[in-house]
Structure 1
């Protein structure tokens, strides 16, 4: 039994026939967050989530936080390159999980691709960069004493729901629900990393001076402003030449063709599925589905 969380209930049992993983509702045992809601997570994330709470931080660490499908992938590359003096060669040749690992998913990748286990995170060279989809109550206890930098990115909930539906369907074989059923479960906080609104409010209401808030919409509509904000926050100069190179690097086609930052390092699946995931865009979603999502607001 973990000292950092307790399992409240099973949301969905494991089903080998349907290739569905065990989905659980857990709650932090930290008294400081006793009034915070539960978290829905897969059982294979529990080890990483548990270790995250006791993870040792340094003041020059950078934590990228955000709900799933909110733009964290692009932000990982932007943050890492700005922080590492625009080392594009390394960014193209070292897989992202070895430069900017995901806290809760890192242990699981050992099963999938043979990457070394979670303990290696402690040995990463500084300044270290980490990503997490976990809500504030599950972040390292040292956060409030060490005060590393946090960048939190959010996205319009309607777009999050649509993107989540197809992502979970394609990546985790969540094929048993239609969109309306998925939406209902999302609103009832029975989908991975829900509840969504409390995820946002937990960070928005955080009394923490070393945090930068960004939105997916800003990053996509005004990439120059987003780069400038991140550069200033990280206390790094961003010269015009590097900014233009970074903008080109972050374009969809560029990232799709870069094996160091696409999904090939995380999971083994067919080239056809990879292409389908990469090409899945909001414009492909029917207007009918988009109208249904408006109910989330």
Structure 2
């Protein structure tokens, strides 16, 4: 029988030089042996840097018109599987990704660049990376860790902030993550590196740049539909986008989406 609740919060431990929890390493062999396809699109971020936002935008760009029922019937975490996740109450991310019938497959990861399965590079897959400034990232991460029962116990704010500055976070230091992915971009032409703050400043411009990278030419009407659908209030009130259907999240503590794209 499928489990309905998670065991106690996991401890942090060192995994190949990076702080991790077992929910992202238990399935390690299958993660590393995951077979990417040439048209896969990998959405990569440090946690709480706009992953769901960009995942939703990409899903709307590719499937908003051809398969609109996805938006009202399939949670975003099933449309865009979390590759390295193995939360016990859900199928592993690798399994969900393998079962996707869409083309392209949209897959998300928080892995540091050195942990990404080699098949993504061998297949020359497109990667969309999103970076967010450290100040807002750590605030969002703190609130997220309080309500996400699959994360280590966050402790109080001062303790959490010190951990963040020390790099003792699940998926490692923020600085290493964003800079190592930036360096990878210099040698892998199919990485589109976005900034969260640029998306807030001018979504139209960033959407145009993203579409150019993906080789898409949506009409003005289609772009407006994507912009409207991915607005914060619309996503926060959308059960298929706001994670309210995921029992890993405790909405009695905090909603997954809190105060808009600034937090």
| TM-score normalised by structure 2 residue count | 0.87
Question: Quick one: which of 236, 239, 246 aligns to 1:256?
Answer: 236
1:163–1:282 contact (8 Å) kept in structure 2 = no
Question: Quick one: which of 36, 40, 49 aligns to 2:19?
Answer: 40
- The alpha carbon displacement at 1:118 in A equals 3.7
Q: Which residue of 2 aligns with 1:10?
A: none
Higher helix share: 1
Question: Quick one: which of 157, 168, 176 aligns to 1:190?
Answer: 168
Q: Which residue of 2 aligns with 1:23?
A: 12
**Residue 279 (1) aligns with residue 253 (2):** no
- The alpha carbon displacement at 1:91 in A equals 2.0
RMSD between aligned residues: 2.3
Q: Which residue of 1 aligns with 2:4?
A: none
Q: Deviations over 1:228-269 (max 9, x none)?
A: 112111111121111111111111121112111111233255
Runs (4+) of structure 1 moved beyond 4 Å? Answer: 114-117, 173-176, 268-271, 280-284
1:100–1:130 contact (8 Å) kept in structure 2 = yes
Q: Which has the larger radius of gyration?
A: 1
**Residue 101 (1) aligns with residue 101 (2):** no
Question: Quick one: which of 37, 58, 61 aligns to 1:82?
Answer: 61
Q: Deviations over 1:1-50 (max 9, x none)?
A: xxxxxxxxxxxxxxx8xx431211111xxxxxxxxxx2211112213444
Higher relative contact order (CA 8 A, sep 6+): 2
Structure 1's unaligned 5+ residue stretches are 1-15, 28-37, 285-297
- The alpha carbon displacement at 1:281 in A equals 5.5
2:12–2:152 contact (8 Å) kept in structure 1 = no
Q: Which residue of 1 aligns with 2:95?
A: 119
Question: Quick one: which of 198, 201, 218 aligns to 2:198?
Answer: 218
Q: Which residue of 1 aligns with 2:213?
A: 233
| TM-score normalised by structure 1 residue count | 0.77
Length, aligned pairs only: 252
Q: Which residue of 2 aligns with 1:129?
A: 106
2:147–2:250 contact (8 Å) kept in structure 1 = no
Structure 2's unaligned 5+ residue stretches are 1-6
**Residue 59 (1) aligns with residue 38 (2):** yes
2:44–2:127 contact (8 Å) kept in structure 1 = yes
Distance in 2 (CA, whole Å) between partners of 1:94 and 1:204 is: 32
- The alpha carbon displacement at 1:123 in A equals 2.8
